[in-house]
Structure 1
Amino acid sequence: MIVATSRMSLRPASTVRASFPVTAWTQVVTAREGDEVASKAALEELCKGYWPAIYTYLRALGCDREEALDETQEFMTHFIQGGGLHNVSPERGRLRSYLRQSLRNHLTTVRRDAARQKRGGGKTFVSLDDVEVFDVPSEPDAADQWFDRRWAWALVKRSMDRLEARYQRRNRMAVFSTLKEGLICPELLKPYAEIGLTLQMTENQVKLEVHRARRRFAEELRAEVAATLAPESDADEELRYLMSVLSFE
């Protein structure tokens, strides 16, 4: 059970220094309006970041593995080529809610028209090597929660990747690698004295490094969440909700 991020200090927007991530709504706009190279890169990032939530949702709604895999491909193709990408905008609210409802509508249409021949338009968005990692039991009543949990995981991963890039730029990967697991789950953080021996730091220095890493991770995570919301939305409220669904059993 993931509980670490729920213990973070959710700092007010005015104090967050993390740069606005090029994700979510930013990527949607780039995919729709950018030049060919930028548009392709944005589409690839969108698919990479959010197909696990889509696949998980379909599995929880009762699709078997193959159907969920097919419909994930089909939905992403439809979203990109069939108009969904051009209809969505930040003003419509949370990207999470928009995609989840669009997916439910898509599955309803699919089951009403089971004789369709075209599947996925020849494009592959899902890595078969990753599929089993995201399998979940069929739980239609909890499908929304499964989707939101996988969505939250995607944002946590993006935030951690951005934090890692910070440490790489400063040639401090040894510090990041030692603290990473403890940032996600505090119970996995080794004693400060042990970390100090590994990094050749005093316990006070380690304590300061942990404090800074947690603060920066929280900043990155809040920025990622804000990037999926409509303008003027309450990012802290959304973040608290997503951290709560990460904690369900």
Structure 2
Amino acid sequence: MNPSSNSVSSLIEVSAPRAGAFPATRWSLVLQARDEQKLKATEALAELCKAYWKPVYAFLRRKGNTPHDAEDLTQGFFAMLLERNSFATVEEGKGRLRSFLLVALKRFAANEHERSMALKRGGGVSHMALDANAAEECCAVDPGTNVTPELMFERQWAVGMLDTVLNKLRSEYAKDGREGVFDALKVRLSADGDGEGDTLALISERLGMNEGALKVAVYRMRQRYRRLLKDEITLTVDSPEQVNDEIMHLFRVFG
């Protein structure tokens, strides 16, 4: 699914969690880990590295680093966050994981020219081998465009978020033995997709469903996608008021 500015209205119709019902999030757990044992912080940081290395790598590559250097720097960046207790400087109540990581990364990249070498690879985090092909694919950009490292980071953040949600949705359908329905309807997750691919008549015939039931299936898939998207965004902010704003931002970076 290729997000666009026209997709926003059909995908952000999600309400923020009720006051007092905001769950512990990936971001809030990292903030908690800063005050607890280093082992727990290391585990939290390792999880961050697995989830968000592509935006970091894309930023560093766009800065002109070679693939090998960008990989080393990506590992070193996450190690630096833990070794310098960087999370201790975050002011609770104002944290967005995306914003914090981008600011920290820009500072890290700016300081690299003053060092004789990058931080020791892996640092305080267990080494994680990066997928070289996936890493370079995420950095592909038309050479004629003026895409900044910051925009590369933001776009890869958004792509990763949407891919995670799409994979979760696919898994749910596969678990129920309905992967064929998912594959046939995924192009219609946004309103933009209604004019793409086969007609509902053709799809309904292929799946053995009537058109009315298929329209209901499309509606339910969209609703579930929106819910999963909101849940994933919730993991990266520290208050319910930030959820919809973050979803809006996620789509704006493609505008």
TM-score by length of 2: 0.79
Q: Contact 1:183–1:189 (CA<8 Å) still a contact in 2?
A: no
Instruction: Report the Cα distance in structure 2 between the residues aligned to 1:10 and 1:86, rounded to whole angstroms.
Output: 32
Match of 2:75 in 1: 73
Match of 1:106 in 2: 108
Distance 1:180 1:216 in 2: 12
* 2:166 equivalent to 1:160: yes
Tell me how far apart the structure 1 counterparts of residues 24 and 167 of structure 2 sit (CA, whole Å).
13
Letter in 2 for 1:97: S
- Percent identity between matched residues is 27
- 1:129 counterpart residue number: 133
Higher helix share: 1
Deviating more after overlay: 233-242 vs 87-96: 87-96
1:39-188 superposed matches below 5 A: 40=43, 42-85=44-87, 87-88=89-90, 91-116=93-118, 118-121=120-123, 123-136=127-140, 142-183=148-189, 186=193, 187-188=195-196
Counterpart mapping for 1:219-230 below 5 A = 219-230=227-238
Gaps of 5+ in 1: none
Once residues 15 and 165 of structure 1 are traced to their aligned partners in structure 2, the CA distance between those partners, rounded to angstroms, is 24
Report the Cα distance in structure 2 between the residues aligned to 1:20 and 1:45, rounded to whole angstroms. 21
Q: Distance in 1 between matches of 2:66 and 2:207?
A: 47
Q: 1:34 to 1:7 in 2, by over 3 A?
A: farther
Alignment partner of 1:191 is 2:195: no
Question: Structure 2: 5+ residue runs without aligned partners?
Answer: none
Q: Structure 1 length normalisation: TM-score?
A: 0.80
User: What do residues 142-180 of structure 1 show as CA deviations (whole Å, max 9, x unaligned)?
Assistant: 222221111111111121122223323433222122222
3-state SS, counterpart of residue 68 of structure 1: helix
Label 1:6 to 1:106 Cα distance change in 2 as closer, same or farther (>3 A): same
Distance 2:183 2:62 in 1: 34
